Amino acid sequence: MLHFKIDSAKCTRCGQCVADCPSRIIEQSGDQIPFIRSESEVNCIHCQHCLAICPAAAVSIFGLDPAMSLPVAAGSFPTLEKMTNLVRGRRSVRRYQDVNVDPKLLQQLLAALGNAPSAINRMAVAITVIDDKEVMQRFRLKALQALAAAVAAGRVPEQHAYLVQAVPAWFEQQVDIIFRGAPHLLLISAGPESVCPPEDVNLALAYFELMAQSAGLGTVWCGLAKMVMELLPELKAVVGVPEGHYYYAMLFGVPAVHYARTVQRDTASHIHRVQV
């Protein structure tokens, strides 16, 4: 049941919810209030566009009260200048303070990820987080010890030869070239129930990165972590990645470095303009 309800006293019969429904399941007859046929409910993609677009806050769906939604008005979003500065100033951070991120801040960031776009609005990603630096240290040691055993047994293929360097770097120099000494790890995965697993995962991570960096945290996409987990599947079980899921990892924490300015690569994108 969608629990689609219209407050007839508030509804202006503007038809915005009807026109904006991606699944086109909301109907309106003449001057009557909009409705959804019971047989059409299965086609709802749970986007809540109807709740969001109603100017009179008359639409409720899934039992949600529109009064509990944040208002979106002029000035609600960052300016284009601020967003472009964030994109230009975002850096991959590989130096972190040995402290935990404030739990309330982290919860705020993770909760907001439910709003990242996903194919057909399936919202089928699984979020795994190591939110304590002591747990992260234990995972780091487990991974590096397992990697050392794999190196000793000659089980590291040539295409992953770079990983071999991580063993002496850690055990002889205490340099962590895989997890960069980060106190936290975010891993997002998606399985067959997701229509586009790689896109859903990468979009969620990109949204997290921009929010985290705007909150003063550092992040880095960690391909080496995925490389290690592919080499040592038992590590995927440790962090709870189901078999057959696409996944990727991001390190994050309070940065131990401050970048004083943006880099200059606005001309790095190759733009092709289509003429038809």
- pLDDT tens per residue, range 137-162: 999 999 999 999 999 999 999 888 89
Of 3.30.470.30, 1.10.10.410, 3.40.718.10, 3.30.70.20, the CATH number of 5-68 is 3.30.70.20
Nearest alpha carbon to residue 238 among 146, 121, 152: 146
pLDDT category of residue 37 using cuts at 50, 70 and 90:
very high
Question: What are the tokens at 188?
Answer: 């997002």
pLDDT category of residue 64 using cuts at 50, 70 and 90:
very high
- Between the alpha carbon of residue 20 and those of residues 15, 29, 40, 48, 117, the distances in Å are 9, 16, 16, 10, 17
Neighbours of 77 (CB within 10 A): 10
Q: Is the pLDDT of residue 267 over 90?
A: no
Percent of the chain with pLDDT over 90: 91
pLDDT category of residue 16 using cuts at 50, 70 and 90:
very high
pLDDT category of residue 60 using cuts at 50, 70 and 90:
very high
Residues of the chain with CATH 3.40.109.10: 82-253
- In the predicted model, what is the mean pLDDT of the chain? 95
Residue 7: strand, helix, or coil: coil
pLDDT category of residue 24 using cuts at 50, 70 and 90:
very high
The confidence score (pLDDT) of residue 74 equals 86
Q: Is the pLDDT of residue 242 over 90?
A: no
Q: What is the pLDDT of residues 160-211, one digit of tens each?
A: 889 999 999 999 999 999 999 999 999 999 999 999 999 999 999 999 999 9
Question: What are the tokens at 98?
Answer: 């040995």
Q: How far is Cα 199 from Cα 54, in angstroms, rounded to an integer?
A: 30
The confidence score (pLDDT) of residue 268 equals 83
Neighbours of 224 (CB within 10 A): 19
Beta strands per DSSP E along 82-217: 125-130, 184-190
The confidence score (pLDDT) of residue 98 equals 97
The confidence score (pLDDT) of residue 159 equals 86
pLDDT category of residue 46 using cuts at 50, 70 and 90:
very high
Q: Report the topology of domain 82-253.
A: NADH Oxidase (3.40.109)
Residues of the chain with CATH 3.30.70.20: 5-68
Tell me what the mean pLDDT of segment 52-60 comes to: 97
Q: How far is Cα 118 from Cα 129, in angstroms, rounded to an integer?
A: 20
